[in-house]
Structure 1
């Protein structure tokens, strides 16, 4: 039996087309979601690497008696796109969990610290994303006078 030339789509054809469209939209949504997660993970990894570098460079510098407790602008953490950093340094007590003489430095400000007589210095570095939706990366390290 021949179909008339002005006939529309059958119900089954419409349902199949809607199913294909729905699956396509779902897959595209999942792809976009995973791309956002990957970008956020890459930012966290980059901030973690920069944070680790800042702590290691300072610890290495403080291993020398002549350089212990003295930081200059050249020792500031790396600047990352999409993040701001904050560094806190203080004299820590070896017997109690207290910290005195805290000095806090932020990106764009002067970075100079001098406390060569402290027995123990605690350094906290934090990278804060400028965009919402990603976590702050933070770590601390205590360094004893050599």
Structure 2
């Protein structure tokens, strides 16, 4: 398969396309390359870099959107004011360690995509197992109650 065919098949791959769209939506940026006036030959600019505090806020909101369906109580804890304060103290750390959403998704994109799919399934699996165990326990208790009742009736 030549490079053109590979690019075309990659463009048609729905998972790859969805990942690209998710990445662009999460970072709030559209990755475009445009020539910069006065730049060195061949230089391009992407999007305007976000301030670390803004990136931290986006990352916090992304995390909440991922985990709040699993743990609804998080919404009470992470109020908009607390999210803002957390972003203000997280931004300098991101700057200090040269972290950005792009770097995070470049390095951990596969893991994040896995978590988006697997964590809700894990939560539902845990609920199903708990419900099945409760149903078995209730059935065993009912059977024991009926057996005890039958013995009591037989002794009369």
What TM-score results when the alignment is normalised by the length of structure 1? 0.34
Structure number with higher relative contact order (C-alpha < 8 Å, ≥ 6 residues apart): 1
Which one has a larger percent helix, Structure 1 or Structure 2?
Answer: 2
Which one has a larger percent strand, Structure 1 or Structure 2?
Answer: 1
